[in-house]
Amino acid sequence: MPVERRDDGNLVFGYLDTASADLRGAFDTVLVRARVGDEGYAADMRPSRFGALSGCDISGEQEIRVMPRPSPAAPRSGHLLGLLVSGGGELEQDGRRVALTLWTSVLDVVRLGPEDDATAVTAAQLRAVAERLISAGQWAPGDPDITIVMDAGYDVTRLAWALQDLPVELVGRVRGDRVMRLPKPSRKEYALAYPQGGRPPKPGKEFRFAKPETWPEAAVTTVTDTANYGKAEARAWDRVHPRLTHRSAWLEHDGELSVLEGTLVRLKVEHLSKEREAPPVWLWSSKTGATPADVHLWWQVFLRRFDLEHTFRFTKQTLGWTTPKVRTPEDADRWTWLLVVDHTQLRLARPLAADLRRHWEKPARPERLTPARVPRGFRNISAHLRCPARVPQPRGTGPRRPPGTKNRHPAPRYDVGKTAKRPETLKAIGRPGRSW
C-alpha cells in the first residue's frame, strides 16, 4: 500500500510503535508496511533531534557492559570496530531494578571507536550518569553509595581511582590468576616480624589467588543457603590492593602511584545448574571495612547482573537492534537510542499489558510479565493511545531507480577496523624510570 512519506519526527513514533509490538507473522508484516511505509526503514534514519531523559526512578545497583553490534557482512558501513565479532561496539550502562525480575533500565549507550580507551570512556560515562542521578535528586547526602557492578573485562581498580570523588562503590570480578598485595604492615607489626630491623616494605606480602598458602585469615566469612547453588561461602579480606606499575593504563601517570585498597571476596558455591562443578569467583570492591551484610550484598548483586544478558538478547531478537543495515555511525547511534526509548516504554507499560501467552507457557501476574510477553499485548495498548504522528495518506509511487538501470552511485566499502595499539612501557615512550 503506498503511503504518505512523513518527516523524521513522525517516523520516530512509527518506528517505536512497530518495534514495541511483537509482529512476526505474515499479516503483521502487512500492518508494519502500511504504517511505516515502503521506504521508511532504509531512507529515513537521517539527522534529527534526539534526546535522552534520566528522570525515571532507577533505584538499585548499576551494571556496565560492552556489547558488540554483530555485522560481519556490512562492508559498506563505516567506522566498524572488531571486538568479539566484526561490528561497532556499544558501551551500555544499565540500572537494574531492585525487584527480582528480568527487566532492566538502560541509562546510557556510548559507541566505542578504534582510538578509544574503553576504561577511560567507561569512567566518563559513569561520572556523567552519577552526576545526572545526583542532580535529579535520586541520591542525597546520607544515602548509601551508588553500587556499580562490572565483569572481569573492566579494570575495576582504575575505575575506582578515576571515580574516587563520587559517592559510588565499584564491585567487579577479577581473574582467578591475579596476584594482589596485602596491606602494608605497621611499624610495630614489622618490628615484631623482623627484629633485626630494616626498611619496611611499601607494599605488603603477596596474595596469590591460586595459592591458598598465601591467604591470611579472612576478615569476614559468610555462609548462605541458596535455592540453585547449594551453600554459598563468601570469604573477604580487607585492604587488599593491586601492585600498580607504570605500564599500560598507568604509563603516563605523573608522580607516585596510588595504593588502591579495597575488599577482596572469594565466593564458592557447591554446584551450578545440573550439578556442574562451580569454580570460585573473585570479586574486588572499592570499599574497605566491609561488614558481613556488605559482603552478602556484593555477591548477590553480582549474580543478579546477569539479567543484563537477557536485555541484550531481547534487544537483538525481539526489538531488532541489528536488523537495519545502517551505513553511518550516526544512524547506528540514532537507531540504538530509539530502541533504548522503546525498551523503557515497554518496561513502563508492563502493568497495562495483557498476558497473551502461548499455550505452553505458564500464566504470570501482570507485574511479573517478562520482556518477551509485554510486546505481545502492547499493540492493544497503543491502539488506545494518542499518536503524535499524522495518519498515513495514499500517494503515488516514490522516486526510485527505474527498472533495468544500473546503480551509478555505489556505496563506499570499508574494512573492519582494529583497536589502535598503545605503548605499554616507559621505554616505549622515552621515559625510563622506576615502577614505584
Answer yes or no: is 248 within a domain. Answer: yes
- Per-residue pLDDT at 51: 42
DSSP 409-420: SPPP--PPB-PP
In a domain, 322, yes or no: no
Per-residue pLDDT, 39? 41
In percent, how much of the chain has pLDDT > 90? 28
Instruction: Give the span between the Cα atoms of 367 and 423, in whole angstroms.
Output: 52
Per-residue model confidence (pLDDT) at position 268: 95
CA 63 to chain centre: 6
Helix (H, G, I), strand (E, B) or coil at 275: helix
Distance of CA 146 to the CA centre of its chain: 16
Does some domain include residue 169? yes
Strands 146-150 and 168-174: parallel
d(CA 65, CA 362): 31
Predicted local distance difference test score (pLDDT) of residue 266: 97
3-state secondary structure of 313: helix
Please state the domain count of the chain.
1
* CA dist., res. 157 & res. 150, Å (int): 11
pLDDT in tens, 56-101: 444 456 666 665 555 544 555 655 554 433 233 455 556 544 346 7
Is 186 inside a domain boundary? yes
Contact (CB, 8 A) for 246 and 426: yes
Residues 361-377 pLDDT 10s: 898 887 788 888 898 88
Residue 186: Cβ within 10 Å count? 10
Q: Which domain holds residue 164?
A: 152-304
Residue 344 in this model has a pLDDT that exceeds 80: yes
CA–centroid distance for 94 within its chain: 6
d(CA 70, CA 79): 13
pTM of the model: 0.77
The set of cell numbers assigned to 337 is 537510542
What is the 8-class DSSP label of residue 288? Answer: -
Bridge partners, residue 91, by sequence:
66, 110
- DSSP code of residue 241: B
Calculate the average pLDDT of the chain: 77
Task: Determine contact, residues 315/108, Cβ cutoff 8 Å.
Answer: no
* Close Cβ partners of 404 (under 8 Å, ≥ 6 residues apart): none
Is residue 272 predicted with pLDDT exceeding 90?
no
Residue count of the chain = 436
Nearest to 154 by CA among 251, 286, 333: 286
Q: Residue 273 contacts by C-beta under 8 Å, 6 or more apart in sequence?
A: 228
What are the C-alpha distances in Å from 60 to residues 87, 138, 169?
31, 11, 12
Asked if residue 416 is part of any domain, the answer here is no
Is the predicted pLDDT of residue 171 greater than 90, yes or no? Answer: yes
Q: Is the pLDDT of residue 48 over 50?
A: no
Model confidence band, residue 417 (pLDDT cutoffs 50, 70, 90): low
Asked if residue 148 lies in contact with residue 168, where contact means CB atoms within 8 angstroms, the answer is yes
Q: Percentage of residues in the chain with pLDDT exceeding 70?
A: 71
Q: What residues contact 280, with CB distance under 8 A and at least 6 apart?
A: 176, 266, 267, 268
216/243 Cα distance (integer angstroms):
18
Residue 226 lies in a domain: yes
CA distances from 335 to 9, 12, 42, 179 (A): 14, 10, 11, 42
Query: Is position 175 within any domain?
Result: yes
| Of 149, 240, 175, the residue nearest 203 (C-alpha) | 240
Q: Would residue 258 count as lying in a domain? A: yes
Question: Which pLDDT score is estimated for 88?
Answer: 36
Contact partners, residue 313, CB within 8 Å, separation at least 6: none
CA dist 24 and 32 (Å) reads 10
Three-state secondary-structure class, residue 45: coil
Task: Round to whole Å and give the CA distance between 157 and 374.
Answer: 39
Query: Rounded CA gap, 328 and 78, in Å?
Result: 6
Rounded to whole angstroms, how far apart are CA atoms 417 and 404?
35
Contact 138, 59 (CB under 8 A): yes
State the first-to-last Cα distance of the chain, in angstroms, to the nearest integer: 71
Listed range (45-49, 180-184, 318-322) with the worst mean pLDDT: 45-49
Q: Following CA atoms 288, 290, 296, 298 in sequence, which dihedral angle do they give, to the nearest 10 degrees?
A: -20
